[in-house]
Structure 1
Amino acid sequence: MNMRLKKVIATLLLCSLLSLPTAGCSTFSSPVYYTMLDEDTIKSFTSLETAIRLTANDLGLEKMEIIAEDKDAILYFNPKTTEIALKRKASGQVWYSNPQDRPGSSDSLLNTQFIVTTLNGRDVAKQWNTFDDSVAFGQFTAQRLDNGINVNYLMGKVLAETLYPVGMTEARFTELSAQMASDKDRNYLKRMYGRVDLTTIESLQQREDLKKTFAKLDTELGGVMYVLKSMLSKLEQKNLTTALQNAGYAFEIRQADEAGVGYTGGADTQENFVFSVTYKLENGTLAVDVDPTKILATDKLKISQITVLRNFGAQKPGREGYLFVPDGSGAIISAQNARATVWADYNRKVYGQDYGVLRTDRVDYSEQTYLPVYGAYHDQGGFIGVAEQGDGQMSVLAGIAGTDSAYSYVCSDFTLLSFALVALESSSKNALNLYPRQAVDDPISLRYLFCDSAGTSYDDLADLYRDYLLANGQLDGINDRQGLTVAVNAIGTIDEIKSVMGYPAQIVKELTSLDEVIELGQLLKEAAPAADRVVQYAGWQKGGFQTGYIRSPQTERKLGSNQDLSDLSASLQDLGVSLLPVVEPQYCYDAGWMQGFSPLNHAIRFITRDTGYKPEHNIANFYLDDKGLKPYIIRPDLVAENMTQFMQKYSSMNISGISLGSLASEVYSDFRAQNVLSVNDTIHYFRSAVEAGNSGNNLVGGYGANVYVLSGLDYALGLPVTSSNHPIISRSVPFLQMVLSGSVSYTMPALNQTENATQYFLKAIETGSGVYFDYFADAGSAIMKTRYDYLYGAARSSIWPIATELAAQTSSALQAVANHRITSHEQLAPGIFRTVYDNGWTVTVNYNSANWQDIPAMGYAAVQQEG
């Protein structure tokens, strides 16, 4: 077994020695995540005895109050249900937070605005919703704001405080009996309470339960006391209360009686929490804010997830409508028909896996989600929901109407508390939850933007989101590079294990020399003279792929020196080729002390507080691959600091650009006990790293395009052009490409991974994507029996003929529209797609095996519109 994996397991098994915050270990003090919810705050909320039942008379716009209005929209609030509605003035379209024809539905979640998942002190998960657990009992308050409203929810039915004690000592029972006002009341008291003597109880479980409930029973009371009978009826509760009131019994006396027997229930059994949401109307948009720092909770209750406005814009079957999710390139889900088969709802984490939360297995290899946005549309308009804050903790959820719900929905969910489930041999339980020292308390901010036009489609939503990013400085709307991007990921060196004097040693092996990169640039110029040619150079640093702690540029000596790398960039620039050497400052493979790297000080921590590494999973069984238990993951604050230091020296080398590799697509948390950093914090530091990479007007590339790097990204390489194969997805759409077009140059996934070159070419034509492929100059046999044998298809002899042909064809076909903005995309017929650009060109692609109109089978047509 890999030594680092052994260390992880040892850490988990010895969690008690490390004083990890665990549930089920009574000797440990659990961290307090939220301000304690006190009795006075609970009592400040009204609480109805019986839950309300909604009827059609409670719903509709006429039952709502106008709480804000501007030139574009009106915001409404229902004071009975706390639901909201926004009416667009231009179209008259009303967007409701909840369906208005829901009374009578068996799906109670249609009534709610928020769903909250909690874990109590026994690690029991519970899902709460704002209607059933708050609004139905009137346990909320609403406060008007200048342009909106703030709603506070007390979650959990407030149990009426009872006058009668759960138990009392034998002496107190005798005394209370004598104080009863009548024989009738005295007899009733004796019927309601029974004498308990531990020596007469045969059941071990019953004795243990009594001793646990009444801490003094087995110690100070000699095993004898009086206990209230279980399951009192409402009539018995009323009669007992009356009898005690007649004797002058008070709540203070009850508390003293229960304290006398060490009663451990009471307030601990009551689970409640308070959270608030703010709705604001801002320039025709709806802003929704939740501040986790204002959550109040009873003891040991932990809030793990909050689902926001689950039913906003929910659609009922019978009309043409779609949900949009940002899966891969983007995907739409038809809401027109109810599902006949029970499928799992869609749930995808934005920005992909949090590597700070170690997963011992992997569910699938779905496409990355790069954008914190989702939406829906139908024949009367559409909307998008954009996460402005908290996006690092965000997932997108969607479901379609079926036997369990009459509506299709799409919404967002935010994780506030992650945990590690670990097995402990020394525990009576099979597994325990391990929690971080802090929960995520970053603000959650969503903004809903609206399309008013009839016939709205996903391309209108893409326009809306792109305009939003432009207005907020996350895209610049400028792409003055000439020609379609043709990018090559040239692999300079790799590492391999060789026998040196009879001992295995890791050595560096050259695959593509600096001179061979110049030759590659010359060949690219000849093959695609009209293209924007880019060489991304991987494995150029000391150690090859297995780089050390990155704080300064160090060219691998088998390739040459830093000056040689500078000369290479100059030679490529003379050929019209940009050089982007790859650095990944968030990872460290070589942890030798001479590198200045200390795993203890410089690497992140998992929730288990073990040193964090980037896991690899076996593609066959999805379990952790022992050989993949590296590299170390660098603390996010050090990533920004090291990148700034790196660029100070790198900028003097006068290289045309830099590639930040997977920094553009991979994120993580850091669960160090002293300073827990959420993914939101990591995003902040990664933005700083990208800004450092952009210093000196360098061209910046990366694998992928998480939205937080877009403002500093010139090339987004290897973007997906399809979505995942989730069963409720109807089809993929090029939403991501539409958003980036005109601002960031983007390419297809690596050509080496495709099985059909014609399909690859047509998809590039449809989406306006550049060509991208892995490459090394050596023979394919050079990587056999190494950990890089998956790159066999990148050998020059294998990839070059087809790559140059596709590069030439694609750059020529898209020369007129390269780097222009996509304004429209639609499916004209099965297998027929049309893309329209802002310069008047239209590109239509035919994926079918038969001609369609004047477009040949498996072909395309590019036409410039007149005027």
Structure 2
Amino acid sequence: MNYKRILSAALLVVMIFTSVFAAIPFTSYAAYSESSASASSKVPEGYTEANLNSAELEEYLKEIHGSNASFDENSDELISLLSYNFSSASAMLNYELKRGYLYYANSAGNDYSIFINKYTGFMYYVNNVTGQILTSNPISLNSAASAGDKEVLMSQIIIKYSELANTTVTRELNSMKWAARRSQIQVTSISNGLRVNYTIGDTTARFLLPGMVIAEDFESTILKPLINSFESAMKEYCADALPDEDFTFFGNENYETEAYGYVNNSDKNGWIKYLSDMKKLYERVYTNTSSAEYKYLNTFRAEIDSLLSAYTIKNPKRYSDTSKPSNQKFLEAMYEDYPITKTGAAVYVYTASSLVETKRDISNKIKKNCPDYTYSLMFEQESACGYVSEVEQKPVFRCALEYTFNSDGSLSVRLPASSIVFDESVYTVEMITPLQFFGGADMKNDGYVFYPDGSGTIVEFNDFYNDARNISIELASPIYGIDYAYSKIDSIKGISHREQVTMPVFGVVNDVKASEATKQIYGKETVRNGYFAILEEGSALATLVARSGGVSHSFMGAHAYYTPYPSDIYDLSETLSVGSLGVYKMLSKSKYTGSYVTRYVMLTDEELGNETYGENAFYASDYVGMATYYRDYLKGNGVLTALENLNEDIPLYIEVLGAMDITSKFLSFPVTETIPLTTFDNVAQIYEELSKCEEFVVNKVSEYLELAAKEENEMQKYQYEKQAERYQELVGQIQNITNINFKLTGFSNGGMSSTYPAKVKWVKACGGKSDFKKLLNTAKTASEAENANFSIYPEFDFMYINRTASFDGISNDQASVMVDNRYASKQIYNSVKQEFESFFTLVVSPDALAKLYSKFNKKYSGYDNKNISVSTLGSDLNSNFDKKNSINRDEAREMVEDVLDTMVNENGYNLMMDKGNIYAIEYATHILNAPIDSSHHRYTSYTVPFTAFILHSYVNYTGEPINYSGSPAYDMLRAIESGAALYYIVCFQNTSYMKDDENLSSYYGVDYQNWFDNIVENYIVLNTELKDLQSHEIVDHKILIAEREIEASEMQINYIKLQKEILEFLDSQLLNTVDAKLAELKGDAANYEKRIKFTVDVDALMSTFADILNLSVEELSVRPAVNEKSFAEQVAELVAEYTDYYSGAELAVNNVELKFGEFEYGTENYMTKYSYITDSTTFDSDYVYTEYTVDNGNVTMVTYQKGDSVVRFILNYNSYKVTIKLSATESYTIDAYGWKRI
């Protein structure tokens, strides 16, 4: 039994009881914890003043807030909410509990609770054991400058939408402004949690915007108040512009007559001209048009102009001369459209845009400038002229968030797609974002965001938000990579230069002020809060975002946004001459009907966790804790199973290229010829050479020595001898490589430019069917040897149609189409043009995969080989927007999983794939091109091996081909840090032809013979380090602080500066010591005959100086200082200047002894203006930095563990040597791009 945990929980309860408001008597805590996994609208005893049921709570609220116990748009409570400035989440929780705002629910066992504000939707996620609290939004909004920013920060849902009539314009609604401030949030109990229903938008039936009003009424109730407001502004800002202080435009008969005259004379812009005259009058008197007053008034007048411009005057007097035929025609049309004008009345008619945003804008201007104009008055005026209003079409969106507990206390937040309800005939939802600022991470406090870019990356808050700069950060990547069913796949900025996000996860940690309960447990003022999020449903439709406020506010959030209604952007200017209006958006008719579910795991401060749960019994608030949880989560769900029957050596992966088409000539006619790049026999030969590379290397030495002996050309002879020397160096180091997996690309169905694998036909140039079978037999025989593996994985691309062949059964119906009904094709980034371009490789519709695979398997299953490479099934995921058979990306994921499941569990294949999107991991035996590095985005701090934490010892994987690397030494470090195997792409012959092929030119330089040495050397190195760790998990990773190793010549200069500084300090100390003694003696006449005898303990000084400089006394003594003298000589000369001068009197009785033996600063308190040396260890929280400190994330330590076996590597990614001090007695110096196994 964990007594620490019981005591901590009990202590927390006591703290809660004592910290909440004591004015109301308590009853029993049992009311709060009586049932497991309970959910209630009652406020729990122990958290607020009383244990109230729903009806009692409403009465209680009325007592506090009056009869209206809900927020409205202008509620003082709601306005104060946007000014919240709480120091801790517990303080805010107590504040809202006291006021009875909250509903609550408990987890099973009552270890966790959630509280939700019934008016705002604000949510608290509480760990009742540790006292830690996570919130759905920030608890302090002081750093937010604008009201709009504050509303976004306090929103749980943000919706971006467009009107179908104009899809190029996207608008945004947030739940704070458009739901909370309008009392349109409802909280209800559901099984095991709470549901928050949102109605987001303006639900009023009408805008305050009259459709038609008799002219006199419009002028008296709207125009006059507008003019009065303008007059008041003129009087306030420029009284000199008016004829006299009592002047009013409406009180002046001439102006009033003129103004009404404009209308009576049928000038529809009469009032605008009237305002213009006012402006001219003002300018005649006050002409400083650059003044703030002028600009204010001009803006005011422009606002009134825009309001008036929305209306058109319909005045029958304008056509009173019926002798003109045209007038009679206009009158008849006016009478038909506006019958009230038959009475001779003029009316104002709203004729501006019918767009909701336009109407809202004009309505707000009327509300602002005509405070006495009401809905009832508007309805009365419209009725008087017979106007019947149309139903206002306003954007209103209904949706819900469901908060429920999982068995481990983690919190699942579900946004059912079915709950997103709106008028789909008018609007479309382009994006919906739940819980954008979950956790409320404040960048002013220490913390970071974990973002799964490639292997994983960290954004440290203090790197981008500090006194020097507040950088606005935005990282955004679609989960599972690019969807090629879209035309514009580069709409996300920088996507072409990003590593793929293969895991739908993210996390945040942040230091916050501890609650009183937490402080009682472990006695600290701050606690490291953190959470880890997993997108459990709808992940394929999500884009992961990490965004900070920059100068707008100090918060950073990580979240996902979803696109339930797919749309695509098309640029007509690419094909037509349409000017600047060529971009338009097309919507898909398909929509997602599932749910968007995110699981939030509360992480625990390490020290607090050790106190409450015990060591290693919790998930720590760091990226290691996140990775550990996710690995356990995947193991629990059956996605990860431990590797079995491991070879003694790590695997080597070699992708060999098969055949290509070239153009040759036959009788001067161009013909297409298929040539081999590697034959099946070549594959066997490569394995033979590598599996016997010890013998091979010895033979190479003899071969080159023989060639050198026969060669007469001295230059060529020298080259042969150097090659012999190179191979001789490998002798003794080398070992046979017998664990090799070959990926065969371009050996079937036409070669490198292959047809779809609906059938299997081996390329004759590579040896054909017979040689393939022979290779399989050779591989089988070789694998029977001890510690040997020779596996063949032919590559088949099921996701794309590169080209078709006769009678292969491929039809257009099996290809995906884009939103505009064009066929979707894979697009490749062109680094020269800096854009994606298509090579017309068609995308296979996800629902066709199963049928096409079945046809393939009928052919392939006849071979004695249970290995297949299906690279793109593990890396790519595409939709199909066919109107007849629409498939969204999440449905596509399910279909890909079904095919993979059939391959593995029904047909028994071992699969090799690329990247390894998380839904495919369960079916993978080998993953090539797995993400073991991040994109190194400029606004990230450093890379972490998150993917390796998850995969190592469960799946075999590699990084990118090391012979494609721009820095092989760097990638070797990544392989060691991630536990990844080596991967090469090679071909055996005809390499030169590839440089002339547009699609294959990137493979130029993969000649196997040129890479043999590199393969052998790198494999030896990596296998030596990792072969005994294949079944170890990666359990820890740290970023280390190191010191750059200083060159001897550079350090010599530094020591001279330090020694000179010490001598200057010593001189000052000696002088001060003597002066102090002289001042002491001077006060007494008896001392006039006295003389100071000054002695200095030079040995003690030298010992102190040696400690300061981290040198031995002997080394320091002989080290040169200045003037080419040793430091010991310099010290002796300086001391002699004082001891010789203050040598004492002739008579000993007159001597005053003065001794100096200690340097005042000492080794601990010595302060220097130089910073070359530090005694700090890498893990010191108060590390003393020097000019050579390396804290750039490029020195790391990774830990592998299995049971009691623990192995650590320190890795230096810098291009210079560094020294790492792990403790006072343990330090390591590591070369550039080097490592140390410890």
Residues 295 and 720 of structure 1: is their aligned pair in 2 closer, same or farther, counting only changes over 3 Å? closer
Instruction: Report the AA paired with residue 474 of structure 1.
Output: V
Check whether the contact 1:614–1:630 (CA below 8 A) recurs between aligned residues: yes
Q: CA offset at residue 523 of structure 1? A: 2.5
Q: 1:65 pairs with 100, 103, 114, which one?
A: 103
Check whether the contact 1:398–1:410 (CA below 8 A) recurs between aligned residues: yes
SS at structure 2 position matched to 1:277: strand
Equivalent in the alignment of 1:833: 1196
2:531 corresponds to 1:492: no
Q: 1:813 pairs with 1008, 1025, 1048, which one?
A: 1025
Check whether the contact 1:381–1:451 (CA below 8 A) recurs between aligned residues: yes
SS at structure 2 position matched to 1:685: helix
2:796 corresponds to 1:583: yes
Equivalent in the alignment of 1:20: none
Greater CA drift, 752-761 or 502-511: 502-511
Equivalent in the alignment of 1:850: 1217
Equivalent in the alignment of 2:682: 516
Q: CA offset at residue 435 of structure 1? A: 1.5
SS at structure 1 position matched to 2:485: coil
2:130 corresponds to 1:91: yes
Q: 2:117 pairs with 41, 56, 78, which one?
A: 78
2:936 corresponds to 1:725: yes
Residues 69 and 643 of structure 1: is their aligned pair in 2 closer, same or farther, counting only changes over 3 Å? same
Residues 405 and 480 of structure 1: is their aligned pair in 2 closer, same or farther, counting only changes over 3 Å? farther
Q: CA offset at residue 427 of structure 1? A: 7.0
Q: Percent identity between the aligned chains?
A: 19
Equivalent in the alignment of 1:187: none
Check whether the contact 1:118–1:305 (CA below 8 A) recurs between aligned residues: yes
Residues 671 and 506 of structure 1: is their aligned pair in 2 closer, same or farther, counting only changes over 3 Å? farther
Equivalent in the alignment of 2:1235: 860
Partners of 1:243 and 1:380 lie apart in 2 by: 58
Partners of 1:325 and 1:212 lie apart in 2 by: 59
Q: 2:500 pairs with 364, 368, 377, which one?
A: 368
Task: Give CA-to-partner distance per residue, 1:533-567, whole Å, 9 cap, x none.
Answer: 21011001111122223223222232244453233
Partners of 2:266 and 2:931 lie apart in 1 by: 68
Residues 102 and 207 of structure 1: is their aligned pair in 2 closer, same or farther, counting only changes over 3 Å? closer
Partners of 2:941 and 2:123 lie apart in 1 by: 30
Equivalent in the alignment of 2:1141: none
Partners of 1:212 and 1:705 lie apart in 2 by: 67
Equivalent in the alignment of 1:651: 861
Check whether the contact 2:965–2:971 (CA below 8 A) recurs between aligned residues: yes
Check whether the contact 2:482–2:489 (CA below 8 A) recurs between aligned residues: no
Partners of 2:418 and 2:125 lie apart in 1 by: 28
Equivalent in the alignment of 1:615: 827
Task: Give CA-to-partner distance per residue, 1:679-738, whole Å, 9 cap, x none.
Answer: 111111111222233244322111111001011001111123221132221001110111
Residues 703 and 343 of structure 1: is their aligned pair in 2 closer, same or farther, counting only changes over 3 Å? same
Instruction: Report the AA paired with residue 548 of structure 1.
Output: T
Equivalent in the alignment of 1:735: 946
Partners of 2:332 and 2:71 lie apart in 1 by: 38
Equivalent in the alignment of 1:328: 454
Check whether the contact 1:47–1:139 (CA below 8 A) recurs between aligned residues: no
Partners of 1:240 and 1:412 lie apart in 2 by: 42
Q: CA offset at residue 341 of structure 1? A: 5.0
Instruction: Report the AA paired with residue 824 of structure 2.
Output: G
Q: Which runs of 5+ in 1 are unaligned?
A: 1-44, 174-190
Q: CA offset at residue 47 of structure 1? A: 8.5
Q: 2:777 pairs with 551, 555, 570, which one?
A: 570
2:184 corresponds to 1:139: yes
Equivalent in the alignment of 2:570: 421
Partners of 1:240 and 1:812 lie apart in 2 by: 83
SS at structure 2 position matched to 1:267: coil
2:272 corresponds to 1:272: no
Greater CA drift, 839-848 or 707-716: 839-848
Check whether the contact 2:472–2:550 (CA below 8 A) recurs between aligned residues: no
Partners of 2:879 and 2:980 lie apart in 1 by: 32
Task: Give CA-to-partner distance per residue, 1:66-93, whole Å, 9 cap, x none.
Answer: 2233223112212232111211234321
Partners of 1:452 and 1:240 lie apart in 2 by: 55
Equivalent in the alignment of 1:313: 439
Equivalent in the alignment of 1:188: none
Q: 1:351 pairs with 465, 480, 487, which one?
A: 480
Q: Which residues of 2 match residues 247-326 of structure 1 at below 5 A? A: 257-259=386-388, 266-268=391-393, 270-283=394-407, 284-298=409-423, 299-326=425-452
Check whether the contact 1:343–1:727 (CA below 8 A) recurs between aligned residues: no
Q: CA offset at residue 649 of structure 1? A: 3.2
TM-score, normalised via structure 2 length: 0.59
Check whether the contact 1:480–1:819 (CA below 8 A) recurs between aligned residues: no
**CA-atom RMSD in angstroms:** 3.6
Equivalent in the alignment of 1:451: 603
Check whether the contact 2:458–2:941 (CA below 8 A) recurs between aligned residues: yes
Equivalent in the alignment of 1:539: 746
SS at structure 2 position matched to 1:296: coil
Partners of 2:795 and 2:337 lie apart in 1 by: 73
Residues 57 and 199 of structure 1: is their aligned pair in 2 closer, same or farther, counting only changes over 3 Å? closer
Instruction: Report the AA paired with residue 375 of structure 1.
Output: G
Task: Give CA-to-partner distance per residue, 1:115-157, whole Å, 9 cap, x none.
Answer: 2111123222112211122112211111111211111111123
Q: 2:154 pairs with 97, 111, 114, which one?
A: 111
Q: CA offset at residue 335 of structure 1? A: 2.0
Instruction: Report the AA paired with residue 326 of structure 1.
Output: P
Equivalent in the alignment of 2:522: none
Q: CA offset at residue 406 of structure 1? A: 1.4
2:530 corresponds to 1:382: yes
Partners of 1:510 and 1:139 lie apart in 2 by: 70
Residues 685 and 506 of structure 1: is their aligned pair in 2 closer, same or farther, counting only changes over 3 Å? farther
Q: CA offset at residue 166 of structure 1? A: 1.1
Check whether the contact 1:780–1:792 (CA below 8 A) recurs between aligned residues: yes
Q: Which has the higher contact order (CA 8 A, sep 6+)?
A: 1
4+ runs deviating over 6 angstroms: 194-203, 205-213, 500-503
2:896 corresponds to 1:680: no
Partners of 1:603 and 1:359 lie apart in 2 by: 18
Partners of 1:257 and 1:499 lie apart in 2 by: 88
2:573 corresponds to 1:439: no
Partners of 1:761 and 1:498 lie apart in 2 by: 41
SS at structure 2 position matched to 1:315: coil
Equivalent in the alignment of 1:690: 900
Equivalent in the alignment of 2:1109: none
Check whether the contact 1:196–1:223 (CA below 8 A) recurs between aligned residues: no
Instruction: Report the AA paired with residue 568 of structure 2.
Output: F
Partners of 1:666 and 1:653 lie apart in 2 by: 27
Q: CA offset at residue 250 of structure 1? A: 10
Please say which structure displays the higher CA radius of gyration: 2
Q: CA offset at residue 57 of structure 1? A: 8.9
SS at structure 1 position matched to 2:971: helix
Residues 280 and 217 of structure 1: is their aligned pair in 2 closer, same or farther, counting only changes over 3 Å? farther
Residues 696 and 591 of structure 1: is their aligned pair in 2 closer, same or farther, counting only changes over 3 Å? closer
Q: CA offset at residue 569 of structure 1? A: 2.2
Partners of 1:405 and 1:759 lie apart in 2 by: 38
Greater CA drift, 75-84 or 451-460: 451-460
Partners of 2:814 and 2:589 lie apart in 1 by: 19
Check whether the contact 1:570–1:655 (CA below 8 A) recurs between aligned residues: no
Instruction: Report the AA paired with residue 453 of structure 2.
Output: D
Partners of 2:160 and 2:546 lie apart in 1 by: 17
Q: CA offset at residue 499 of structure 1? A: 5.2
Check whether the contact 1:196–1:227 (CA below 8 A) recurs between aligned residues: no
Check whether the contact 1:459–1:823 (CA below 8 A) recurs between aligned residues: yes
Residues 217 and 295 of structure 1: is their aligned pair in 2 closer, same or farther, counting only changes over 3 Å? farther
